Amino acid sequence: MDLSYKEAALKAFADKFGGDTNDVKCYFAPGRVNLIGEHTDYNGGHVFPCALTIGTYAAARKRSDRKLRFYSVNLDRSGVIETSLDDFKPLNEDGWTSYPKGVMWAFEKRGFRMDSGLDIVINGNIPNGSGLSSSASLEVLTGFIIRDIYGFDVKNVDLAIIGQDAENNYCGMNCGIMDQFASAMGKKDNAMFLDCATLNFEYAPVVLNDMELVVTNTNKKHKLVGSAYNDRRNECEKAREILAEVAGIKTLGDLSNEDFEKYKDAIKDPVVQKRAKHAVYENNRAVTAVDALKKGDIEAFGKLMNASHVSLRDDFEVTCEELDVLAEEAWKVPGVLGSRMTGGGFGGCTVSIVKKDSVEDFKKKVGEAYKKRVGYDCTFYEVSIGDGPSVI
Ligand code: GLA
């Protein structure tokens, strides 16, 4: 956590909203990186994300009327956005405030009534559009603030479910549960092995010894709303319906690779068949990978990360030239155990496991090759795994 972001949020709060800042409370919710299990969450499969120490900070104070006022230090040009508790309209043009408003709407829908409005200042250090879940962290942060200020009786896992509801039904992005879950349930130095069909999960310590996680940003902005993400979901749903008939499964996450091979020809559309193949194989890959990590076999884990990227590139087709260049160049560097795209895809970041004494070499080689092949710079972050949301 970087408390200078809290200080900057407090200062902006005093500037924009004034009044007695003694009543202002500060909060933090993390972003996430997913280590393996991509595009499996909405297919009833497994994911393995961890919360990061970068995230979104807020300063908030309850009001005595029904007004809501929002200001983001990161999006200063949007200025103060004012609305009210009586003005929740899903899929309205609220700009960035559709995330916090969506969460308030999702609380109200569940019968949790906010008895008065709020002033909120947001300040985050997750690069926008990096695919490290800035929106999920903002949703979980809002839920956490509301629970704290209004005393609503909900658990952290509910904050994840409410955040996803807001994103699906208020913001119009049909995401799965992974990002909100990772932000709401994060634990320092641990990843979460989550079964998205049941929300059963376990923490698994990420012990990398002489290695570390490096996240590399393509700096290509990805925008998931209205993109091919929702198409992929629909294709997976088509496959699921067919396989439910012939193989008696409920979700693609129920299938072994062998059973998929046995039944796959029932899916006549070759594109839909490829999408389903990724969902099934990636789920089983995630299970195998977590097993390897638990046994301390980071080499095997890394190889499965590479295979995950290839599947996302060739079968699920959610990578892009920039992500492929980053992964391919990483695979060439000695000391890299594994590298793959992370998150929704179409831009955003890769995650790599790199030997500590190879990190400089990795940055130099991948950075130079990326610039040469893509034409602009990528950015490296040596990330740490952090806790879920908190009062700060
Ligand atoms: C985005 C979504 C998640 C998940 C990933 C892909 O991050 O928000 O729910 O589907 O893509 O694994």
- 51's tokens: 């919360």
CA distance 43 to 281: 12
From the list 179, 254, 315, 324, the catalytic residue is: 179
DSSP H helices in 151-256: 156-169, 178-185, 228-247
Note the pLDDT of residue 21: 81
Note the pLDDT of residue 278: 98
Q: Is the CB of 17 under 6 A from ligand 1?
A: no
Note the pLDDT of residue 241: 98
Query: HSE (CB half, 13 Å, CA atoms) of 348?
Result: 23
**E strand or H helix at 319:** none
Domain boundaries, the chain: 3-206
Ligand 1 centroid to residue 181 C-alpha, Å: 11
DSSP, res 59 = E
Q: Is the CB of 31 under 6 A from ligand 1?
A: no
Q: Are 54 and 74 in contact (CB under 8 A)?
A: no
Q: Are 139 and 27 in contact (CB under 8 A)?
A: no
Note the pLDDT of residue 227: 75
Nearest CA to ligand 1 atom 11: 344
Which of 150, 62, 144 is closest to 111 using CA atoms? Answer: 150
Query: HSE (CB half, 13 Å, CA atoms) of 185?
Result: 26
Test site for ligand 1: of 167, 178, 223, most ligand atoms within 8 A of the Cβ: 178
**Domain 3-206, CATH 3.40.190.10 — does that match?**
no
Q: Is 244 exposed, middle or buried (0-12, 13-18, 19+ CB in 10 A)?
A: middle
DSSP, res 126 = S
Q: What are φ and ψ of residue 56, in 5° steps?
A: -120, 135
Angle, alpha carbons 330-334-316 (nearest 5°): 30
The residues near 328 (Cβ < 8 Å, ≥ 6 apart) are none
Rg of the Cα atoms in the chain = 21
Q: Is 29 exposed, middle or buried (0-12, 13-18, 19+ CB in 10 A)?
A: buried
- Is 179 designated active site? yes
Which of 133, 30, 39 is closest to 349 using CA atoms? Answer: 133
- 380's tokens: 């490296």
Note the pLDDT of residue 1: 83
Note the pLDDT of residue 225: 45
CA distance 339 to 59: 36
Ligand 1 centroid to residue 215 C-alpha, Å: 17
Q: Given the CA of residue 177, which atom of ligand 1 is nearest to it?
A: 9
Note the pLDDT of residue 224: 55
**E strand or H helix at 143:** helix 134-150
Tens of each residue's pLDDT in the chain, 392 residues: 899 999 999 999 999 999 878 899 999 999 999 999 999 999 999 999 999 999 999 999 999 999 999 999 999 999 999 999 998 988 777 889 999 999 999 999 999 999 999 999 999 999 888 999 999 999 999 999 999 999 999 999 999 999 999 999 999 889 999 999 999 999 999 999 999 999 999 999 998 989 999 999 999 966 654 578 999 999 999 999 999 999 999 999 999 999 999 999 999 999 999 999 999 999 999 999 999 999 999 999 999 999 999 999 999 999 999 999 999 999 999 999 999 999 999 999 999 999 999 999 999 999 999 999 999 999 999 899 999 999 99
